[in-house]
Amino acid sequence: MQRVDELDTPVMVVDLDVLEGNIKRLQDEVDALGLTSRPHIKTHKIPTIGHMQLAAGAVGITCQKLGEAEVFAGAGFTDILVPYNILGAPKLERLTRLARRVRMTVSVDSEVTARGIAEASQEAGTDVGVVVEVDSGGHRAGVQTAREVQTLARAIADFPGVSFQGFMCYPSRPQMTDLWAEARDLLSRDGIPVNVISGGGTGAQRLSKENGCTEHRSGTYIYNDLSVLRSGNCTLEECAMNVLVTVVSTSCPGYSTIDGGSKTFTNDALRQDDALRKGDSNGHVREYPDVFLERMNEEHGVLSLSRLPEGAPRPKVGEKVHVIPNHACGTTNLHDVVYGYRRRNGEEIIEAEWPIPARGKIR
């Protein structure tokens, strides 16, 4: 029986009781709203956890890259959405190979992309589901108006090899209510059925419902992180992911340095306005809530002690502490393995050692 504090650091550890609670809570909420749940696996990248999400009631999963979909299709998942524009011969070949075995749906925001998928799928003799991505304000992908949705949906409906399924956006936002209604209305007049309207974002399930979605995609809720905590969408007790690190230096006055930096946590900033970010930590140290992770190099995380009350205990060289990172998904992507534990009689007992097979799938 191994305890978390016996692990070499830095190492990612997940509280299994909290994880299971997060899965149940989200599914209950989405059920109560009358939405289907299609969790995004990018946060954990581990098929075992995906199966827990399916067992709780998810209708399928979301993967952001084909490489992730390949891992999960190989692990028994049969209904996969990749909300991304798939382009180029190598990816189209991989997409149709997947579509021969499992139900694949992808998003598009241009006719160029839709046509490429249709041609590849027709040639392969497969059927790929397609949803139109709409920009909900992030300005990274997605068409802008309901009219553009209609134009693209009409084209997709006419293409062979693909089935138009509906729309999606990320994240759900208040302004989508009118846009979804208008798009639904336009397609209804065209006689093009809309099977799914997919919204997303941890904490945004109620907004997805208000928008008129049928489906909700959440990723980060499974672990939660400092960004979700600071945005008010979880409590400290609902944060399942920790990185255990060791204090390696206290020789610079006013600072303590831990053995995890941007190669362990990423340099992803907190998802909130600059004013808050400036004064906030880049990681919550459970044992020392008053220290803040001021900055990171690849292998160094520098804890500022400037807010510690006079005379308060300070991190010591060799001491191990638990850090909740800014961004769970990015952190997962940097680790090859995660340990699952349960807290029993004040000890953290390790119960699972999970490799992370969909880590690093950039293609």
The residues of the shown chain that bind a second copy, judged by CB under 8 A, are 8-11, 42, 64-65, 84-85, 87-88, 90-91, 109-110, 112-113, 116, 135, 138-144, 148, 246, 248-255, 257, 259-260, 262-264, 266-269, 297-300, 302, 317-318, 329-330, 333-336, 360, 362-363
Give the residue carrying structure tokens 């827990």.
Answer: 52
The residue (of 35 and 338) whose beta carbon lies closer to a second copy is 338
Smallest distance from a second copy to CB 298, Å: 6
Crossing angle, helix 47-56 and helix 66-73, to 10 degrees? 70
Q: Which residues of 280-310 are buried (b: 16+ CB within 10 A; e: fewer)?
A: bbbbbbeebeebbbbebeeebbbbbbeebee
Smallest distance from a second copy to CB 295, Å: 8
Gap between the Cα atoms of 273 and 291, Å rounded: 21
Give the residue carrying structure tokens 């293609």.
Answer: 363
Smallest distance from a second copy to CB 20, Å: 25
The residue (of 126 and 220) whose beta carbon lies closer to a second copy is 220
The residue (of 185 and 336) whose beta carbon lies closer to a second copy is 336
Question: CB count, 10 Å around CB of 181?
Answer: 13
The residue (of 27 and 257) whose beta carbon lies closer to a second copy is 257
- In the chain, DSSP assigns E strands to 11-15, 36-37, 61-62, 79-82, 103-108, 128-133, 162-168, 196-200, 215-217, 241-249, 255-258, 283-285, 292-296, 301-304, 320-325, 337-344, 347-355
Gap between the Cα atoms of 36 and 308, Å rounded: 46
Smallest distance from a second copy to CB 206, Å: 23
| 49 touches 71 (CB < 8 A) | no
| 336 touches 355 (CB < 8 A) | yes
The residue (of 88 and 191) whose beta carbon lies closer to a second copy is 88
Smallest distance from a second copy to CB 12, Å: 9
The residue (of 251 and 345) whose beta carbon lies closer to a second copy is 251
Smallest distance from a second copy to CB 304, Å: 10
Smallest distance from a second copy to CB 185, Å: 21
Smallest distance from a second copy to CB 229, Å: 19
Gap between the Cα atoms of 277 and 293, Å rounded: 12
The residue (of 18 and 180) whose beta carbon lies closer to a second copy is 180
Nearest 10 degrees: CA dihedral of 322, 326, 328, 329? -150
The residue (of 53 and 246) whose beta carbon lies closer to a second copy is 246
Give the residue carrying structure tokens 């949803």.
Answer: 131
Specify the 3-state DSSP secondary structure of 73. Answer: helix
| 66 touches 98 (CB < 8 A) | yes
Residues constituting the chain: 363
Smallest distance from a second copy to CB 355, Å: 12
The residue (of 107 and 205) whose beta carbon lies closer to a second copy is 107
